[in-house]
A and B are shown apart, each in its own frame.
Chain A
Amino acid sequence: MKNLWSYVSKSILLGIAVAAVLLLALPQLQNKQGLTQPFSLGLSEQMSFAAAVKRAAPSVVNIYTRTYQKSTINSKATLRPQSLGSGVIMNKKGYLLTNYHVIANADQIIVALQDGRFFTAELIGFDQYTDLAVLSIDAKNLPSIPQSKHEQTNIGDVVLAIGNPYNLGQTITQGIISARGRIGMSTTGHQNFLQTDAAINEGNSGGALVNSLGELVGINTASFQVSENVETMGISFAIPYPLAVKIMNSLIANGRVIRGYLGIEGTSINTVMAKLLGLKANQGIVVQNTAPDSPAEKAGLVTGDVVIKFNETEIDNVIWLMDVVAEQRPGSKINLTVIREGKQLDISVTLGELQALQPQ
């Protein structure tokens, strides 16, 4: 016991002595956490996003579109430049994601890679609800963007926007995720997309939003302005990566995005309404309107019905229900549990298909 005690104390004393000598000899070992050296605080002196840029930037392309235009009524129509945007190479097969509004009405789509190569792209499909389009180019040795299916995006994450604003040439801007996006396929509006304070301008549309590892987290879009005439510096939107991939796969497989269609407008139940209707709060939704000839109307849903379950799963808000419906195959039968005049009943609905928006 005594032996052990002396052994321990000796080692401690020796340790202290060695540490003291080291500190005297190498004073820079001290104060590593001190505020005078800001970048020892988890930031290395070489801190830079250069590595992420190197991984991701080559797979972000410039997109130019041309349309046939006549300069005079009688002249032959010629291809003229029309719009400008960016795109992201998603895989080696040559599939690219961009914004629908970048390639809308284009007669020719030209994709310019960062290595100087040019290709004419084929339009595989588009989805106006999410403003996404899939292009395909026939090229070898394509740099596809790093992607991680497991990485979750959180508010506060550092992100880089890569694109070609005002056709200046490739530009990287930096910011954070200001608000997180939904990844459901329903068409409930862009206000739920990823929001970032990285600068996104005209020409950035369709480009990549990547994290600090260079992995794709979203497709930037400059089309969603809060207001037309107000400069919205610091508020930009991107379509979340998981949603973009879902849309892309659907477009490649079917040429369009197939969404289930129910045909109701509804609202979530707030505390006051719950009391009036004698329900638990935040449970179910109230049907406000049914579209004429819609699956909901045909199945006998009426205004005022409270829908509390979808195929035995409780519904807590409208957007959740819309997303679930959108994911169903048109023609499939679903079961809604409804409370009407205090009585609970089950209604079976055969879903239809959500029609695409009419091209503008």
Chain B
Amino acid sequence: MMKVHVIKVRSHCKTLTALALTAAMGLTSLPATAAFPFAVAGQPLPSLAPILEQVTPAVVNISVSGTKVSQQQIPEEFRYFFGPDGLGSKQQAQPFQGLGSGVIIDAKRGYVLTNNHVIADADKIQVMLKDGHEYEAKLIGADKSSDIALLQITAKNLTEIKFADSDKLRVGDFTIAIGNPFGLGQTVTSGIVSALGRTGLQLENLENFIQTDAAINSGNSGGALVNLRGELIGINTAILGPNGGNVGIGFAIPANMANNLVQQIIEHGEVRRGVLGVAGQELTADLAKAFDIDVQYGAFINQVSPNSAAEEAGLVAGDIIVSVNHNKIRSFSELRARIGTLGPNKEITLGIVRDGKEIPVTATLKPADNQLADASNMHPSLKGAILASTDKDQGVMISDVKPRSMAADAGLKQGDIIIGVNKDKVKNLAQLKALLSEENATLALNIQRGEQHLFRVLR
């Protein structure tokens, strides 16, 4: 019906060839008496300049380079002729470059927050400060389903941005976006909060965006959305634009959600999800009528999983969750995003509407027992395999293998359980990750496949 693209705003390096700087010429002709009008008709003029001077040094440009491995698409039938190491498995490595933005959130330790899609697949991440200093950055951890990544640089005299409490935002509050659109250099745009708790864009798994009309464009990704006090309220992530440019509809990940994820990445090197154990849907007007409920927002619970945090807290199907930790929940997607980013073992207060009455319920989130991890982050030869922890630490299960991937070529199959690497035993994902991060030229995986024990060698 409508042609609308939702665009992630990492810009692919474009060289700006001719940018004539005529501003300098214009300056020389300014009359010496020309002064900034501090007041018009007795009314002082507002300006964001003083607050920006304090904040902008904390927003950095990020440039990445790497190679994307693209497989030659040879149909399965023909692969027979070339064998497993023949033409069919040849890969094309295509170099790519990208640009984005980032925010320094800890000056002492050099932590830089950005979007996962800015640094995804990058081999080299370069951070450039506003003053022109460049540093190579280390990736501390990233979370694909919320599109957050944490980098670290080693540098002195950095400026950091403080986190604001993004749960206190209201529609209509002023916003300032700071970033590096189109690789132009640091750019500041202003607007207001257009909407809160925006979900359903199908960009990420966990969506709970702040919507703003401050101009966000290609290259702004990972940059800061700040309030009038210069505190971070969000990480600019995406825009909706019919022709690829800004039309006043931009999306940012709320600061509180980003902060929760950062704390987990710092602590564990990865994001761990807390699980409530409910399935449900949006509360519609029809549903509200059918259940004779006097609320028009919230997450309607269809089902409560056995032995889950929700069951222990006494939730039942038919309940409507209207708040988490006293923050209004507008939709089921928003509930998912909130719960999914809080982390395991967190005690939370849920506002529940049951039989027309709102009651508070306390629940403790359980760790996700089937933690899934993309193995390509662990070892290049494992690209294409999705790993999952097993119950009772009995190894790491390969829950999915993409056909024609590196992992498939290495002879791994879905359902295999990795129980050892070289001479060391593997009990869970964390152990496997640690072992794989050691720089071994060759890895021998000890695999259990049904009754069989096998070795697969990775190069």
Contact = CB atoms under 8 A, between A and B. Distances in A.
Interface of A: 33, 35-39, 41-43, 45, 47-54, 57, 81, 115-118, 160, 165-166, 168-174, 198-202, 231, 233
B172 A172 contact: yes
A168 B211 contact: yes
Contacts of B4: 166
Contact of B229 (A45, A52, A54): A45
Given A48-B170, A169-B198, 4 more contacts: A116-B296, A117-B285, A169-B195, A231-B242
A174 B198 CA distance: 18
A171 B46 CA distance: 25
Given A166-B2, A168-B198, A199 B44 contact: no
Interface in B226-272: 228-229, 240, 242-243, 245-249
Interface stretch (B47-55, B158-166, B364-372, B416-424): B47-55
Nearest to A52: B172
B319 interface: no
Contacts of B173: 48-50
A33 B192 contact: no
Nearest to A229: B243
- Those 10 A-B pairs whose CB atoms lie nearest each other, nearest first: A199-B248, A116-B296, A49-B172, A50-B170, A53-B172, A173-B213, A50-B172, A41-B44, A38-B50, A48-B173
Interface string B168-204: 0011111000000000000000011111001000000
B21 interface: no
A65 B50 CA distance: 48
Contacts of A200: 248
Contacts of A170: 195
B316 interface: no
Given A50-B171, A199-B213, A42 B249 contact: no
A233 B288 CA distance: 40
Contacts of A54: 172
Nearest to B193: A172
A42 B44 contact: yes
A209 B278 CA distance: 41
B249 to A, nearest CB: 6
A233 B247 contact: yes
Given A168-B198, A231-B245, A53 B170 contact: yes
B414 to A, nearest CB: 38
B45 interface: yes
A109 B242 CA distance: 26
B17 interface: no
A38 B47 contact: yes
Contacts of B229: 45
B240 A168 contact: yes
Nearest to B296: A116
B43 interface: yes
Nearest to B248: A199
Contacts of A53: 170-172
A166 B49 CA distance: 34
A88 to B, nearest CB: 17
Contacts of B1: 81
Q: Is the interface of A mostly helix, strand, loop or mixed?
A: loop
Contacts of B247: 199, 201, 231, 233
A63 to B, nearest CB: 15
27 contacts: A35-B50, A38-B47, A41-B47, A43-B228, A45-B228, A47-B174, A48-B170, A48-B192, A49-B173, A49-B192, A52-B172, A54-B172, A57-B171, A81-B1, A116-B297, A166-B240, A168-B198, A168-B240, A172-B171, A172-B194, A172-B213, A173-B191, A173-B192, A173-B248, A198-B248, A199-B249, A231-B243
A171 B192 contact: no
B194 A171 contact: yes
Nearest to B229: A45
Contacts of B170: 48, 50, 53
Given A45-B229, A199-B248, A233-B248, A171 B211 contact: yes
B81 to A, nearest CB: 47
A200 B44 CA distance: 30
B44 A160 contact: no
A176 to B, nearest CB: 12
A115 B111 CA distance: 42
B285 A48 contact: no
Nearest to B240: A166
A221 B211 CA distance: 21
Interface in B40-88: 43-51
Nearest to A41: B44
A81 B1 CA distance: 10
Interface in B1-40: 1-2, 4
Nearest to B43: A42
B294 to A, nearest CB: 10
B172 A48 contact: yes
A326 B170 CA distance: 44
A38 B49 contact: yes
Contacts of B48: 38
A50 B172 CA distance: 4
B47 A118 contact: no
Contacts of B50: 35-38
A51 B171 CA distance: 9
A160 B51 CA distance: 24
Given A168-B240, A171-B211, A174-B213, A51 B172 contact: yes
B20 to A, nearest CB: 23
A160 B174 CA distance: 12
Given A49-B172, A168-B211, A201-B249, A116 B49 contact: no
B285 A118 contact: yes
Nearest to B49: A38
A41 B174 CA distance: 16
A168 B198 CA distance: 8
Contacts of B194: 171-173
Interface in B112-161: none
B45 A41 contact: yes
Contacts of B193: 172
Interface string B374-406: 000000000000000000000000000000000
Nearest to B295: A116
B130 to A, nearest CB: 20
A116 B46 contact: no
Interface in B332-384: none
Contacts of B249: 165-166, 168, 171, 199, 201
The interface centre, meaning the residue of B171, B174, B296 with most chain A CB atoms within 10 A of its CB, is B171
Nearest to A43: B46
A115 B228 contact: no
Contacts of A45: 228-229
Contacts of A166: 2, 4, 240, 249
Contact of A174 (B191, B240, B242, B243): B191
Contacts of A169: 195, 198
A282 to B, nearest CB: 30
B275 to A, nearest CB: 27
Nearest to A115: B296
A49 B174 CA distance: 8
